[in-house]
Structure 1
Amino acid sequence: MYGPGERMKDVVKGALLALAVLLQGCEPTGKTAETQTPAVPKVDIATVTPSTEPLTTRLTGRMEAYRTAEVRARVEGIVEARTYREGQEVKAGTLLFRIDPAPLKAELAAAEAELAQARAAADAAEDIAKRSKQLMADESISAQQYRKDFFTEKQARATEKAAEAKVQSARLKLAYANVTSPIAGRARRAEVTEGALVGQDEGTKLTTVEQIDPIYVNFAQPMADSLALRQSLQNGKNDSKLILRLRLSNGSTYPLNGTLLFSDWAVDEKTDTVAMRAIFDNPDHLLLPGMYVQVELQQPSEKQAVLIPQQALTRTREGAYAMVVDETNHVHSRPISADTLEGNQWRVTDGLNAGERVILSGSALKDGQAVEPKQATLTTQPVASKE
């Protein structure tokens, strides 16, 4: 027979044994956890395609007249008439304003009278000088008197020359009463009206004439792009491929291409850009000075750009990158250069080649991770027409 103490020990041992069996059944085996293989993630991919469009940079530009002439009053007087229509195309020498010529005619008449008087005095002095020369030969007068008469003639001739200059000046002022255009172009609005007093203290601005065929466009290009363009043009291989177009404010494209004239030799320290200028033919005068336009500069490039879907690109503070799937279906992060869009695709100029596979929305994947790629079906938006 067992005593009460021994029975209690047996109950405790049984309970401990049952608990140990229960815990052993709940504990997973180490080998099972170690041999379990994680699932390979499935990813949608797209194939990198070459771009069919040339590299185009769009920059904001402003039109400027080819030549600009400020027409000013060159004589003082009252504006008698405006002889042109504002906005009219004029030729060089076309009469634009007429200043009252009456005071100028009177000034010319006074100058001509002064000239006649000076000429008569000079002729009289010349006769006296000739007679004094003969008398001095006969020793009828002194050499001192002859020299006096000789210099009197010289002074009279000088006075005559001064009077002639006054006449020329008066005639010139009278001619300035007819204000003409110095260049051919479009005459802008009049700055004065009939009856206005002009030229009293300085040359009053009457109007402006602008030649707008051809016409300039001024714009600025980032220094890095300007440097690449210079290097490309210096090679002498891509001159014929450089194309300049204008996109107007209504979205249409100007039908004529332009020619790049120059890029400035200085860099703007505030914007890190280089000032540039191009020239366009403007026979229909569709382009006007002061107009803002988009300059489309098709830059020559030795390397063809490629396209990737928008969702395949990720941007961080360090730059842009895409996740590329290699031949063994492993993921690799690839830094790329992509600054412009073609339709709904990024134009990649560096970092990718045509035919490579990129992951759509693969920013959560790790570099070197194995994946199961699946070709995605995407809809590509066409590039906006330039016509």
Structure 2
Amino acid sequence: MNRHIKLTSALLLLSAVLAGCNDAGTAGNGAAGAGAGAERPPSPVSVVVLKKAVQPLTTLLPGRASAFQVAEIRPRVSGIIKEIAFKEGSEVKAGDVLYKIEDDTYQAEVAQAKASLAKAEASVPSAEANLARYERLVNSGATQIEFENAKVTLLQARADVAQARAALNVSQINLDLTEITAPFEGVTNTSKFSIGNVVTANQSDALMTLRRLDPIYIDLTESSANLLRLRQEIAAGRMNKNENDATADIRLTLEDGIEYPHAGKLDMSEMAVSETTGTYSIRAVFDNPDNLILPGMYVRASVTVGSEDGYLIPQRAATRNARGELTAKFVTAENKVETRTFVNSHISGNSWLVTDGIADGDKLIVDGFQWIGDGATVAPVEATVDASGFVVEAPKAQDAAPAAKP
């Protein structure tokens, strides 16, 4: 009986302890909930204050590099290659010797032509003297026929001299052509023939290819639809045309994303649209002093096509909605976040240019907008965006006040 009473008392005591623990936990949770319900401080965001200004309008075009000049070097006389006078892959100047062909035969031909010329020239004085003699005797015994024959003989002698001199010139040209020279300054490639190979005049296989890389051409392509849209906007007065399209600067971005340091100029544009791709070609020319751009390299070109009065939205601060429209987040006068949509936008360097939906002094969020939604309260901090449009530079901090002494 006593054991039963003790067991019952122990169970009651254990229940009381558990109930106390449960009450304590409930009280703790209530305190935590009260703390969680406290208002969070506004999130700091970087903003730029927008101001309307005339900005350049640019378009991005894909392109390929091509050599400014290309020449496939071929022999103009036949023979055996006896010397290769250039280093493969090196730069050569105009007139530099590239190949030398065995010239013994051509030197002999020159000597033979010189002898033929001397022989022909030797007969001219005799023919001239003979003609002068018959001219004096034509009225005193010499017949007219003899006089005419002497005249013909002199003409033939002079013609033989001219023929021999022409043959000598041909022989000398062939001798000079045994040295194959560079037609312009450029960079050589691998020689396809070696010393001892027999080559023939005007053969189909080139000895090597010479390319001039400075300056260099960039072949760009643009859609005809964009061309028509551009002309319509200029005609409607929404866009200002460049004063001189031929001198419009063009900037390149290389395959590794680095901007090319030299600006290019428009060289020509194809006055026809491709029937298969619906594009037309534009060719630009760039200085290439370091041979940084090589033929066949892919590039992206930023071409200035005009200007317009509007506001710049850096690409880092803009997104596209499901309909492809440009969107960006702004801070209202009450420090609330709002999203604005822009139906019309144009490219201007590394930014988007818009003309509607913004006023001077509006604050565009350029950093920190990824984690906030519309209606959220934020603490705007003014900042600037550098020329590349990617790096946000916070304003310089003021000198910190000295710490208070305890």
**TM-score class normalised by the smaller sequence:** 0.5 to 0.7
Q: Do the aligned residues in 2 keep the contact of 1:51 with 1:347 (CA within 8 Å)?
A: no
Within 1, Cα distance between the matches of 2:148 and 2:245?
81
Pick from 257, 261, 281: which aligns with 2:287? 281
Identity of aligned residues (%): 30
Match of 1:83 in 2: 85
**Counterpart check, 1:314 vs 2:322:** yes
Within 2, Cα distance between the matches of 1:165 and 1:237?
53
**Counterpart check, 1:137 vs 2:139:** yes
Would the alpha carbon gap of residues 195 and 59 (structure 1) be closer, same or farther in structure 2, given more than 3 Å must change? same
Match of 1:63 in 2: 65
Q: CA deviation at 1:54?
A: 5.6
- Structure 1 unaligned runs (5+)? 1-45, 325-332, 358-372
Match of 2:296 in 1: 290
Match of 1:244 in 2: 250
Superposition map of 1:188-337 within 5 A: 188-200=189-201, 202=203, 205-227=206-228, 228=230, 231=234, 234=241, 236=243, 242-305=248-311, 307=313, 313-315=321-323, 320=325, 336-337=343-344
Q: CA deviation at 1:354?
A: 4.8
Q: Do the aligned residues in 1 keep the contact of 2:63 with 2:301 (CA within 8 Å)?
A: yes
Q: Which amino acid in structure 2 is aligned with residue 166 of structure 1?
A: A
Match of 2:28 in 1: none
TM-score normalised by structure 2 residue count: 0.64
The C-alpha deviation readout for 1:170-201, integer Å capped at 9, x for no partner, is 01111111111111122222232112222346
Would the alpha carbon gap of residues 67 and 342 (structure 1) be closer, same or farther in structure 2, given more than 3 Å must change? closer
Q: CA deviation at 1:233?
A: 7.0
Within 1, Cα distance between the matches of 2:288 and 2:218?
12
How many equivalent pairs are there? 315
Q: CA deviation at 1:84?
A: 0.6
Match of 1:186 in 2: 187
Q: CA deviation at 1:339?
A: 7.6
- Structure 2 unaligned runs (5+)? 1-46, 330-339, 364-373, 392-406
Superposition map of 1:75-114 within 5 A: 75-114=77-116
Match of 2:170 in 1: 169
Within 2, Cα distance between the matches of 1:210 and 1:311?
44
Within 2, Cα distance between the matches of 1:275 and 1:248?
19
**Counterpart check, 1:123 vs 2:104:** no
Q: Do the aligned residues in 1 keep the contact of 2:246 with 2:266 (CA within 8 Å)?
A: no
Give the ranges of 4+ consecutive aligned residues of structure 1 lying more than 3 Å apart after TM superposition. 46-56, 200-204, 224-227, 229-235, 237-240, 305-312, 319-324, 337-343, 346-357, 375-380, 382-385
Q: Do the aligned residues in 1 keep the contact of 2:91 with 2:185 (CA within 8 Å)?
A: yes
The C-alpha deviation readout for 1:312-341, integer Å capped at 9, x for no partner, is 7231xxx758899xxxxxxxx988135879
Q: Do the aligned residues in 1 keep the contact of 2:241 with 2:306 (CA within 8 Å)?
A: no
Within 1, Cα distance between the matches of 2:223 and 2:353?
18
Q: Which amino acid in structure 2 is aligned with residue 256 of structure 1?
A: H
RMSD of Structure 2 on Structure 1 (CA): 4.2
The C-alpha deviation readout for 1:1-28, integer Å capped at 9, x for no partner, is xxxxxxxxxxxxxxxxxxxxxxxxxxxx
Q: Do the aligned residues in 2 keep the contact of 1:75 with 1:203 (CA within 8 Å)?
A: no
TM-score normalised by structure 1 residue count: 0.67
User: Which deviates further from its counterpart, 162-171 or 297-306?
Assistant: 297-306
Within 2, Cα distance between the matches of 1:310 and 1:146?
102
